[in-house]
Amino acid sequence: MVYTGPDGEPLARQTSRTSSHGGRSPSLHQPGMSRRSSVSAGHPHGLKPVDTTQIGIPVVTPRKERPGHVRSLTGSYFPAQKGVVTMEDEWPIGDEKTWKTALKDLEFDHEDEQEVANTVVRHVTTSLARQAYNMDAIAAYQATALSVRDRLLERWNETALHHTKKAPKRVYYLSIEWLIGRSLDNAVLNLGMRNTYEGATQKLGFNFEDLLNEERDAGLGNGGLGRLAACYIDSMATLNIPGWGYGLRYNYGIFKQLISNSGEQLEAPDPWLDRENPWEIGRLDVAYPIRFYGRVESVPNSDKAVWTGGMECLAVAYDTPIPGFATKNCANIRLWSAKPVQGFDLNSFNAGNYEASVAASSEVENITRVLYPNDNMYAGKKLRIMQQYLWVSASLQDILRRFTKLDVPWSALPDYVCIQMNDTHPTLAIPELMRILIDEEELSYEDAWKITTKVFAYTNHTVLPEALERWQIDLFESLLPRHLQIIYRINYDFMQAVAKRWPGDMDRMRRMSIIEEGTPKYVRMAYLAIVGSFKVNGVAELHSQLLQATIFKDFVEFKGRDFFTNVTNGITPRRWLLQCNPQLAALITHTLGNDHWLTHLTALKQLLPMAEREEFRKAFTSIKLENKQRLADLVEAELGVTLDIESIFMTQIKRLHEYKRQTLNLFAVIYRYLRIKKASPEERKKITKHTSIFAGKAAPGYYVAKLVIRLINNVAKVVNNDPDVEDLLKVVFIPDYSVSIAEVLVPASDVSVQISTAGTEASGTSNMKLALNGALLLGTVDGANVEIAEDAGEDQSFLFGHLTEQVEGVRFTNSYQPTPLEQRSSELAEVFKAVESGTFGEGSTYDSLLKTVYEHDYYLVSNDFGSYLAAEKLMDETYDNNRTEWTKKSIVTAFNMGDFSSDRSVQDYADGIWSVEPCEVPGNL
Residue, of 36 and 652, whose pLDDT is higher:
652
Q: Which domains are seen in the chain, by residue range?
A: 2-84+167-181+217-565 (3.40.50.2000), 93-165+182-216 (no CATH), 646-903 (3.40.50.2000)
Nearest-angstrom CA–CA distance, 925 and 919: 16
Per residue in 355-394, pLDDT (tens digit) is: 776 667 888 999 999 999 988 899 999 999 999 999 999 9
Instruction: Identify any residues that bridge with 692 across adjacent strands, giving them in sequence order.
Output: 650, 731
Q: What are the pLDDT digits (tens) for 390-409? A: 999 999 999 999 999 999 99
CA–CA separation, 341 and 361 (whole Å): 8
Mean of pLDDT values over 270-297? 96
**Of residues 113 and 78, more confidently modeled:** 113
Q: Which residue has the higher pLDDT, 134 or 499?
A: 499
Residue 452 CB: number of other CB atoms within 10 A?
Answer: 24
pLDDT, position 354: 63
Mean pLDDT of 71-94: 44
> How would you class 781 by CB atoms within 10 Å of its CB: exposed for 0-12, middle for 13-18, buried for 19 or more?
middle
**H helix or E strand, kind and range, residue 361:** helix 354-365
To the query of whether residue 888 is one of the catalytic residues in this protein, the response is: no
* pLDDT > 60? residue 76: no
- Give the pLDDT confidence score for residue 843 in this predicted structure: 86
What's the confidence (pLDDT) of residue 104? Answer: 73
Average pLDDT for 896-915 = 98
Q: In angstroms, rounded to a whole number, what is the distance separating the alpha carbons of residues 13 and 444?
A: 20
Average of per-residue pLDDT across 614-623 = 98
Give the separation between CA 773 and CA 750, rounded to whole angstroms: 9
Strand 330-340 and strand 417-422: pairing? unpaired
Catalytic residue selected from 660, 706, 730, 802: 660
Banded model confidence at residue 107, pLDDT cuts 50, 70, 90: confident
685 is catalytic: no
Q: What percent of the chain has pLDDT over 70?
A: 89
CB 286 within 8 A of CB 7: no
Query: In this predicted structure, which of 38-47, 125-134, 139-148, 236-245 has the lowest mean pLDDT?
Result: 38-47
Neighbours of 68 (CB within 10 A): 10
State yes or no: pLDDT of 219 exceeds 70.
yes
655 is catalytic: yes
Distances (CA, A) of 918 to 46, 235, 241: 35, 12, 5
The one catalytic residue in 194, 304, 402, 655 is: 655
Q: Of all residues in the chain, what percent carry a pLDDT higher than 90?
A: 83
858 vs 106, higher pLDDT:
858
Given 304, 339, 425, 654, which residue is catalytic? Answer: 654
Q: Which of 769, 811, 824, 904 is catalytic?
A: 769
For residue 627, pLDDT over 50 is answered with: yes
Q: Does the annotation mark 470 as catalytic? A: no
- Distance, in Å, from the CA atom of 321 to the CA atom of 116, rounded to the nearest integer, reads 20
Q: CA geometry: angle at 254 spanning 251 and 256, to 5°?
A: 95
Mean pLDDT of the chain: 90
Q: How far is CA 677 from CA 120, 672, 871, in A?
A: 58, 9, 22
Closest among 688, 741, 642, 713 to 217, alpha carbons compared: 741
Q: Categorize the per-residue pLDDT at 90 as very low, low, confident or very high, splitting at 50, 70 and 90.
A: low
Instruction: Label residue 117 by pLDDT band (50, 70, 90).
Output: very high
Q: How far is CA 747 from CA 88, 258, 579, in A?
A: 49, 25, 10
Confidence of residue 61 (pLDDT cuts 50, 70, 90): very low
pLDDT of residue 357: 62
Q: Stretch 344-352: mean pLDDT, rounded?
A: 70
Report how far residue 201's alpha carbon sits from residue 207's, in angstroms, rounded to the nearest whole number: 7
861-881 and 847-854 are packed helices; what angle lies between their axes, rounded to 10 degrees? 100
Q: What confidence category does residue 625 fall into, taking pLDDT thresholds of 50, 70 and 90?
A: very high
521 annotated active-site: no
More confident residue, 234 or 1: 234
Instruction: Report yes or no: 130 and 123 within 8 Å, Cβ to Cβ.
Output: no
Tell whether pTM > 0.85: yes
| pLDDT mean over 291-307 | 97
Confidence band for 466, pLDDT divided at 50, 70 and 90 = confident
* pLDDT attached to residue 6: 44
The residues, ordered by sequence, that sit 6+ positions from 432 with a Cβ below 8 Å of its Cβ are 389, 392, 393, 396, 483
Lowest mean pLDDT among 234-238, 348-352, 433-437, 857-861: 348-352
What is the distance, to the nearest Å, from the Cα of residue 428 to the centroid of all Cα atoms in its chain?
A: 18
- Is the model's pLDDT at 419 over the cut of 50? yes
* pLDDT value of residue 417: 99
Q: Which residue has the higher pLDDT, 781 or 51?
A: 781
* 688-704: pLDDT as tens digits: 999 999 999 999 999 99
pLDDT of residue 62: 38
Q: What is the mean pLDDT of residues 519-524?
A: 97
Choosing from 368, 765, 780, 845, the catalytic residue is 765
What's residue 41's pLDDT? 34
pLDDT band at 444 (very low <50, low <70, confident <90, very high): very high
- Using left for φ > 0, alpha for ψ between -120 and 50, and beta otherwise, residue 460 falls in beta
| Distance from C-alpha of 217 to C-alpha of 740, rounded to nearest angstrom | 7
Going by the DSSP 8-state scheme, the letter that residue 783 receives in this structure is T
Q: Under 8 Å CB-to-CB from 89, ≥6 apart: which residues?
A: 79, 81
| Distance, CA of 19 to chain centre | 36
Catalytic one of 36, 339, 461, 628: 461
Specify the higher pLDDT residue, 488 or 93.
Answer: 488
Among 67-76, 456-465, 900-909, name the one with the lowest average pLDDT. 67-76
Cα angle, residue 373 at apex, residues 369 and 376 outer, rounded to 5° = 160
Whose CA is closest to 855, among 748, 704, 742, 723?
704
List, in sequence order, the alpha helices (H) in 366-425.
378-404, 413-416
Active-site residue 765, yes or no? yes
